[in-house]
Amino acid sequence: MKSKLAIIGIFFIAGLLFAAVFSYFTFEPEEAIEEPLAEQEVRLYFLNEKQYHLQEVSRVVPETEHLSGRIEQIVEELKVAPEEERLSTLLPEDLELRSVFFEADVIYIDFNEALIGAAEGSSGEMIFLYSIVNSLLANAPEDYKLVKFLVNGETVKTIGPYGEESGHISVEYPLGPRWKLVGSS
């Protein structure tokens, strides 16, 4: 009888130990089992190297509370090249968005100095600038129609690397979207 009780006791203790170890490895903090963050789909424009136009890519990202957060998110997403081989990112890794603000129908995006020289040539600058402009305006409320580039808080004439007037496209004024640069495949 005693031995039976001892065996039951051993199984009982072993069961407790097993349960403790199992629960230790399978325990999840309370936060993680709360409701997952709401997600949203954003439309991003990347370079199609073969066709040399912009191509739309949809990506699901966590929802943000404010528009400025969504814009920061889009800029970061634009740095991540899509899996599709012929699509590539146009944004240099060291390009940092310093701040975002809004005035009337214009989204102001203030980058660090890596914006200067980030693209060259008429076509290169065009496809680079409008990949950002199109991506921001495609995901912002319709009230916003234009995007204004700043470098360290200042207006620059162009993004040319050899001085403000060595580039091609004027960024002195806000830019509207260029949907004609977008191809299907």
Partner 1 sequence: MKKFTTGLILILFACMIFFPQAARSASLNLVDADGSLLGEIPTLRREGSLLLDLYNFFRALDFSVSWNEKTRRLEVEEEGTTFRFTPRSEHVLAGDNNLYLTGSPLVRSGKMYLAASTTAGLLNRHTKHSVIYNPDRQQMQLGVPREAEAADEDPIGRFLEDIPEVAGDEMLVVIDPGHGGRDPGAIGPGGLMEKEVILNMSLRLKKHIEDNYPRMKVILTREEDVFIPLQDRTRMANQNEADVFISIHANSGPSARATGFEIFTLSAEASDPSAQERADIENSVLRYEGYDSEELSDVAWILGQLRASVHTMESQAFSEMILSEMEAAITLSNRGMKQAPFFVLKDAMMPAVLFEAGFLSNPREEQRLQSDSYQKTVVEALGTALDKYMKQRFLK
Query: For residue 42, with 0-12 CB atoms within 10 Å meaning exposed, 13-18 middle and 19 or more buried, which class applies?
Result: middle
179 contributes a contact to partner 1 by CB under 8 A: no
Q: For residue 44, give the H/E element and its range.
A: strand 39-48
Q: How far apart are the first and last CA of the chain?
A: 79
The position carrying tokens 């528009």 is 67
Strands laid side by side in the 182-183 sheet: 87-88, 39-48, 53-62, 182-183
Out of 71, 128, 140, 149, the residue judged to bind partner 1 by CB under 8 A: 128
Among 123, 152, 155, 179, binds partner 1 (CB under 8 A): 123
Q: Contact between 76 and partner 1 (CB under 8 A)? A: no
Do residues 146 and 174 lie in contact, with contact meaning Cβ atoms separated by under 8 Å? Answer: yes
> Which run of H or E residues covers position 134?
helix 122-139
Binding map of partner 1 across residues 34-63, x = CB under 8 A, - = no contact: -------------x-xx-x-----------
Nearer to partner 1, 75 or 90 (CB): 90
Binding mask 93-122 for partner 1 (x = CB under 8 A): --------------------------xxxx
Continuous segment of H or E residues that includes residue 47: strand 39-48
DSSP string of 81-112, one letter each residue: --SSTTEE--S-TT--EEEEEEETTEEEEEE-
The correct pick among 37, 88, 99, 103 for binding partner 1 (CB under 8 A) is 88
Specify the residue, 43 or 178, whose C-beta has the smaller distance to partner 1: 178
To the nearest whole angstrom, how small is the minimum distance from the Cβ of residue 58 to partner 1? 22
59 vs 168 by CB, closer to partner 1: 168
Among 12, 18, 22, 173, binds partner 1 (CB under 8 A): 173
| Site residues (vs partner 1, CB under 8 A) | 47, 49-50, 52, 88, 90, 119-124, 126-128, 145-146, 157-158, 160, 162-163, 165-170, 172-176, 178, 180
